[in-house]
Structure 1
Amino acid sequence: MNPVRKIIHVDMDAFFASVEQLDNPDLRGKPVAVGGSEVRGVVAAASYEARKFGVRSAMSGKMAALKCPHLIFVKPRFERYKEVSNQIREIFFEYTDLVEPLSLDEAFLDVTENKFGNPSASILAQEIRDKIKSATGLNASAGISFNKFLAKTASDINKPNGQAVILPKEAEAFLEKMPIEKFFGIGVVTAEKMKKLGIHQGKDLKAYSLQFLTKRFGKSGLHFYNIVRGIHNSQVQPHRERKSLSAESTFETDLAIHKDFLDALHRIFEELIKRMERTKIQGRTVTLKIKYKNFSQQTRSKSFDQYPSQEKIWETVLELLNQSPLSYPVRLFGIGVSNLNVLEDRGLYGKQLWLDFEGEN
């Protein structure tokens, strides 16, 4: 009989904003938004002081400023966040090699068999959080359970700077009470469809048969049927293939002139090349990402049999730009490469991130 898995989900508390408050004492105790501005852009992260006013990540900077008039906007510093993230990652590897990063500020750890031989995942989670605090000065929250979904769910229970456990014997009752929109894989649209069927909590979802859920939600029906019963067998995956590498920038004012397009794209191209050289990554597909003034988005791509040179990548960006006229003034450009030559290692992340480098995300 296989032992019950012990999974820890570690999630840093308001990571980007907390790093800014750590590095700048003048920001401590004040509402801080990383990214965006009073007039445009999107908030990448908000401090807990800002969240009290309703400021959230992915909110427009304009809306955030309306909710919190004394909000302090700061530009993202992704290199600094990566530096701290790597410090945290090394602490994880002291306990287990089964570490699956989800982003710079969160990861799953499988500690069923760990380097300390400690059978208590709760004690290990507390030790990890204490080490993170000691090494970085930042707070982390943690969730502990027997699968990834429940561990991630548990990490939100006692945030910030806390941890929670969902034991196998507790899972069924916990899931029956959980709001349907909190379930992994159930987004806003699906949640609304479920609510029209009278599905508001886990117990409502659990009442439906696999046949019914499959008929209504297709392949996802099996996932919904399993997850409400605490069945989520996805393994912690320490080695995930990086899909692409990219850079992007959101502009202070929308661009409408071809010369401005070229100037902006060249700055983004230079940043992408820096990242490619630093990571030793090459890609056979070049992609141009365009977000217009009306927030509609378009991508244009071209693939090669061989890895293109830096000059060829730039030529391709220009070719993709001129492929057809742009529909509206441009609020964002991004350049990325995919079909890569490497698998990720500890310093890379399996999740695609179009990272901005000029102050907004």
Structure 2
Amino acid sequence: MRENVPLTLPLSRAILHIDMDAFFAAVEQVDNPALKGKPVIVGGAKRGVVSTASYEARKYSVRSAMPIFEAKRRCPQGIFLPVRMKRYQEVSQKVMAILEAVSPLVEQVSIDEAFIDLAGTERLHGDATQTARKIKGRIYAEACLTCSIGIAPNKFLAKIASDLQKPDGLTIVPEEEVQNFLKELPVNKLPGVGPKSEEALRGLGIHIVSDILRFPPGLLERKFRKYGLRLVELAQGIDDSPVIPCSPAKSMGSEDTLPEDTTAINTLKKQLLSQAEEVGERLRRDGLKGRTITLKLKHSDFTLATRSHSLKEATCATKILYDTAVMLLERYNLKTPVRLIGLAVSNFGGGQQYSLLPGVEKETEKLERVDHAIDRIREKLGRQIITRGSNL
């Protein structure tokens, strides 16, 4: 384990950020020990993108979001594996349970990372350093995985710190060291600084965080609006955002890169049917319904288009999700071939609510009842036991 830990840690507020190391690839190596020490690359089909690359693969400059064909060019000896999201979610749940045993204030921000507010945990678990070591030990003991942890007075500093000693790292930023920690940091490490804003900052001569403080806040506000003032706060290490446990999902969706670019509507409809089934089942399992259905299309020239439609009532019925997505597709003026298609549901409303009047049942309610019945049968007998017709 790599550590950058001071002898004392005088933190009035201790926020921990945990980031699992090369998570998807690491799970594959645990499940198949023959893969350990080898360049493992998890991603879509040959036309998809890399989801995660093991550290062995990263030596060949393979990184997340890189097209698979480019990853194969850089690392032809790599072991390319499909995404097994259900398995990764199982392991993620085990990791999050370990974190929730430490503090009730756990904010999961993705499948492989979370924030923890350590306030009030000292008597049970010791100081922040001891707690971090215990967490790392439990995760390795129960899941055979390593993680990197950053601890700091606030969330954004903790997240930056967790990235500095990867893999299997532990970095702590005491309050009195915040300015020293930040001053030489590249400005693109600050949250919200993307390629365009970084270019604009460099145009002002701002390359590292301490450069920000050489400029009057008013000038930065005029240049970057509200974010200009936010930059000044970040450069001073100020961030009061709380750790929010159990933040509800704002949307739920599914998307797939197609085997070949296409303009064939029937091919795209078939993909939407599969996605509507997947998203509908997940909504019903989580007791959610959504009003807004969004169609996502990425063309062969990598341009992106989205179309949305909001229903009068929230639903989790697969047929309604599918019919709405197909309507959006048919209204779309499709000229350029599509390489990726996706369906998402948002604007969540209540869960299961059926009519209280005897003998009165809306068509939507009937569809949802049928879907719930199908879900139960598939859970007992397997997904292949019931297959929907392509015309739904």
- Fold similarity call, TM over 0.5: yes
- The match for 1:357 is none
The size of the alignment, in residue pairs, is: 340
Match of 1:153 in 2: 160
In structure 1, the residue corresponding to 2:192 is in which secondary structure? Answer: coil
Q: Equivalent of 1:6, from 6, 9, 14?
A: 14
In the alignment, which residue of structure 2 is the partner of 1:359?
Answer: none
Q: Report Cα offsets for 1:254-287 as digits up to 9, x if no partner.
A: 1221221222211122211221222221101111
1:337 is displaced (CA, Å) by 1.1
Find the aligned partners of 1:305 and 1:342 in 2 and give their Cα distance: 13
3-state secondary structure, aligned to 1:200? coil
Partner residue, 2:336? 328
CA distance in structure 2 between the aligned counterparts of 1:250 and 1:270, rounded to whole angstroms: 17
Question: Any residues of structure 2 matched to 1:94-243 within 5 Å, and which?
Answer: 94-114=101-121, 116-118=123-125, 120-243=127-250
Q: Tell me the equivalent position of 1:32.
A: 40
8 Å CA contact 1:8–1:142 kept in 2: the answer is: yes
What is residue 271 of structure 2 aligned with on the other side? 264
CA drift of 1:119 comes to 5.1
Where in structure 1 do 4 or more consecutive aligned residues deviate above 4 Å?
none
Give the aligned CA root-mean-square deviation in angstroms.
1.5
CA shift, 1:74, in A, is 0.4
CA distance in structure 2 between the aligned counterparts of 1:286 and 1:46, rounded to whole angstroms = 32
Q: CA deviation at 1:110?
A: 0.1
Deviations 1:123-182 (A, max 9, x none): 101101110001100001100010001111111121100101001111101111111111
- For residues 78-131 of structure 1, the C-alpha deviation after alignment (integer angstroms, 9 at most, x for no partner) is 111110000001111111010011101000000021274445111101101110
Is contact 1:209-1:225 (8 Å) kept? no
8 Å contact 2:272–2:322 — kept in the other structure?
no
Judge conservation of contact 1:95–1:116 (CA < 8 Å) in 2: no
* Distance in 2, Cα, partners of 1:82 & 1:280: 18
Conservation of the 8 A alpha-carbon contact between 2:44 and 2:257? no
Q: Which residue of 2 aligns with 1:302?
A: 309
Contact kept? 1:34, 1:46, Cα under 8 Å: yes
1:47 is matched with 54
Aligned residue among 323, 338, 348 for 1:315: 323
The CA distance in 2 between the partners of 1:193 and 1:209, in whole Å, is 16
Whole-angstrom distance in 2 between the partners of 1:279 and 1:115 = 34
For residues 264 and 313 of structure 1, the distance between their equivalents in structure 2, rounded to whole angstroms, comes to: 13
Q: What's the counterpart of residue 371 of structure 2?
A: none
Which 10-residue stretch deviates more, 163-172 or 59-68? Answer: 59-68
Contact 2:116 2:243 in 1 (8 A): yes
Structure 1 pair 26–118 and aligned structure 2 pair: CA distance change class (3 A) = closer
Q: Provide the C-alpha distance between the structure 1 equivalents of 2:122 and 2:323, rounded to a whole number of angstroms.
A: 50
Query: In the alignment, what sits opposite 2:25?
Result: 17
**Does the CA-based 8 Å contact 2:277-2:318 persist in structure 1?**
no
Q: Give distance in 2, aligned partners of 1:124 and 1:114.
A: 9
Work out the CA distance in 1 between the residues paired with 2:335 and 2:197. Answer: 31
Residue 51 to residue 5, structure 1, CA distance change in 2 (3 Å): same
Distance 1:268 1:116 in 2: 48
Give the residue type in structure 1 aligned to 2:241: S
Deviation at 1:304, TM superposition (A): 1.6
Letter of the structure 2 residue corresponding to residue 313 of structure 1: L
The equivalent of 1:274 in structure 2 is 281
Tell me by how many angstroms 1:325 deviates: 2.4
Report the AA paired with residue 284 of structure 1: R
| Corresponding position of 1:68 | 75
Shift of 1:185: 1.6
Counterpart residue identity of residue 6, structure 1: A
Quote the residue 1:341 is aligned against.
Answer: 349
Deviates more, 1:265-274 or 1:159-168: 265-274
- The CA deviation at 1:342 is 5.6
Preserved contact between residue 142 and residue 164 of structure 1 (Cα < 8 Å): yes
Cα distance in 1 for partners of 2:121, 2:287 equals: 32
- Cα deviation 1:179-208 (Å, max 9, x = unaligned): 111112211111111112111111211211
Letter in 1 for 2:40: V
Mapped contact 1:36–1:60 kept (Cα < 8 A):
no
Following TM superposition, by how much is the alpha carbon of 1:327 offset from its aligned partner in structure 2, in angstroms?
2.8
Partners in 2 of 1:192 and 1:96 — Cα distance? 40
Higher normalized contact order (CA 8 Å, seq sep 6+, divided by chain length): 1
